[in-house]
Amino acid sequence: MSGVRQFPRKTAAAIAVVGVVGLCAARKASLRNEAFAESPKPCGGPGGPGGRGGPGGRMGFYSLRLESSQQVNDNTKRLRFQLPDPASNAGLSLASFILTFHKPKDAWFPVIRPYTPINNFDEPGYIELLVKKYPNGRASGYLHSLQPGDELNIRGPMRGYQWKTNEFENVNLIAGGAGITPMYQLIQGMLNNPDDKSKIKLIFGVNTDKDLVMKKELDAFEQKFPDRLKVVYRVSDPVEGSPFTKGRVTKELLEKELLGPKDSKTTKVFLCGPPAMEAAIFGSKGWISSQKGVLEELGYSADRIHKF
């Protein structure tokens, strides 16, 4: 079977032992901004959200073969992995993620990280990841080192946020850097669904112009669905002559741009970005001190917000 093979029983058992530890490590990794095209969020299997599935129709451990590697900018790649069945979509659905595994020679345990597939789930036969390489990032560095024909060990798909079509009239997506991946997954899934009528506002903040990954795809969706999708860009350090507005994702910007009544169950805000950005927008709670987030200051209750 080309493209995917199931792990040997002993290998799968060994990884299963560290599965719980791995999930915690994966979440901590995203907080360290070490692997940010990767945000924990599970998916459904055959039959739609809420199911359990994967290559071959079941959740489990697999090895995917890399089909192609595309350099997006100086630190980001699009990696396309084959599925064994050209007619299979691996059980992916909104909102979903997979766990990647690899074991460095000098490590006792495998490095485990969550990544969000960005491919159109209606196009079967492959999974595509957008991976930003971080300095000393063990997962992202390993993924960037893969060449076509190499294999990647994964587990998934896995289910997280329980997405329901048309549950919200207004969907606000706030992304920072490579945190665009779960947002793009939602955008393409919602807009490719003819039954979905929700309006979407994406606020996308990055450091430099080159960090606006997925812009070509976002532009295409915005042009095709002008009445449903609006994208607002902010660049902290734009190049000279940049067409993008200089700035960050601030309280003033969110107050101006967010869609829908903030106190209504018809409005939802999704957030994914670097730790400092998430803390500023969502807030943080700790044993010693807590920080109120911008969204709370603007009147959004916790149940109106989902942080990937």
Q: What is the pLDDT of residues 157-180, one digit of tens each?
A: 877 788 999 999 999 999 999 999
Residues 180 and 199 in one domain: yes
The predicted pLDDT at position 72 comes to 95
Token duo for residue 107: 């490590």
pLDDT(219) > 80: yes
The predicted pLDDT at position 42 comes to 30
113 appears as a binding residue in the annotation? yes
Q: Domain of 266?
A: 170-307
Pick 97 or 17 by higher pLDDT. Answer: 97
The count of structural domains within the chain is 2
**Percent of the chain surpassing pLDDT 70:** 80
The predicted pLDDT at position 45 comes to 31
Residue 155 CA: distances (Å) to CA of 96, 121, 270:
12, 18, 25
102-158 pLDDT tens trace = 988 887 888 999 999 999 988 889 999 999 999 989 999 999 999 999 999 998 887
The predicted pLDDT at position 285 comes to 77
The residue from 159, 192, 207 where one domain ends is 159
The predicted pLDDT at position 266 comes to 95
292 appears as a binding residue in the annotation? no
Residues 122 and 224 in one domain: no
Residues 295 and 219 in one domain: yes
pTM here?
A: 0.81
Alpha helices in 101-247 (DSSP H): 138-145, 180-191, 215-224
The stretch 260-273 carries a mean pLDDT of: 95
117 appears as a binding residue in the annotation? no
Residues 115 and 216 in one domain: no
35-68 pLDDT tens trace = 333 333 332 333 332 333 444 344 567 889 999 9
* 156 and 97 Cβ atoms separated by less than 8 Å: yes
Neighbours of 296 (CB within 10 A): 16
130 appears as a binding residue in the annotation? yes
Distance CA 163, CA 182 (A): 12
The predicted pLDDT at position 201 comes to 98
140 appears as a binding residue in the annotation? yes
The residue from 159, 188, 208 where one domain ends is 159
Q: Which residues contact 12 (CB under 8 A, 6 or more apart)?
A: 6, 60, 61
Evaluate whether residue 10 is within a structural domain.
Answer: no
Evaluate whether residue 295 is within a structural domain.
Answer: yes
The predicted pLDDT at position 83 comes to 85
Evaluate whether residue 292 is within a structural domain.
Answer: yes
